[in-house]
Structure 1
Amino acid sequence: MGQPSFVYMLASGRYGTLYIGVTSDLIRRVWEHREEFADGFTKTYGVKQLVWYEVHTDIVEAIRREKQIKHWNREWKLRLVHALNPQWRDLYFDLI
């Protein structure tokens, strides 16, 4: 069994633009998005709030789940967030 892997969703705000990613270091990766270290989608659209994540014990499974969620329609993604985080709090501050 390897180190934990995370599938995560960032938002630009409540019901805003969404981004789904996968990482083995959730705190570092979300911090990189927040600090705009890389040009790309999250920097362009101001997507910085961690609104949902799940933990996997296998990176291959996490990548499979990320791809699955990316193909979902927006309503399903919103329901996923709402089930875990109905207030759309920025969960990053719970991690640090």
Structure 2
Amino acid sequence: MVYFEVYSTAEDALKREKQIKRYRRQWKENLINSVNPQWRDLYDDFKEQNIDKK
């Protein structure tokens, strides 16, 4: 996992996922590079954020 966004509802997350899927690959790569230029694996960061929400 090299990119993720957190939303308060599943509906909002699905809406954003569908939006991102419509974009071209280069736009997606630019999005990743803007927050994670080394393309570091962010799974542990994601896991920690989800644990905090429970």
TM bucket normalised to smaller:
0.7 to 0.9
Alpha-carbon RMSD:
1.3
| Higher strand residue share | 1
Residue in structure 2 matched with residue 79 of structure 1 by the alignment: 30
Q: Does 1:68 align with 2:49?
A: no
Residue in structure 2 matched with residue 59 of structure 1 by the alignment: 10
Residue in structure 2 matched with residue 89 of structure 1 by the alignment: 40
Q: What runs of 5+ residues in structure 2 fail to find an aligned partner?
A: 49-54
> Offset at 1:93?
3.5
- Identity of counterpart residues, as a percentage? 49
| Higher helix residue share | 2
Equivalent pairs counted in the alignment come to 47
> Offset at 1:87?
0.4
* AA at the equivalent of 2:38: Q
Whole-angstrom CA distance in 2 between matches of 1:92 and 1:64: 22
Q: What runs of 5+ residues in structure 1 fail to find an aligned partner?
A: 1-49
Residue in structure 1 matched with residue 52 of structure 2 by the alignment: none
* AA at the equivalent of 1:80: L
Q: How big is each residue's C-alpha offset from its partner over 1:32-62, in whole Å with a ceiling of 9 and x where there is no partner?
A: xxxxxxxxxxxxxxxxxx1000100011110
Displacement over 4 Å in runs of 4+: none
TM-score, normalised to structure 1, is: 0.45
* AA at the equivalent of 1:71: R
TM-score, normalised to structure 2, is: 0.78
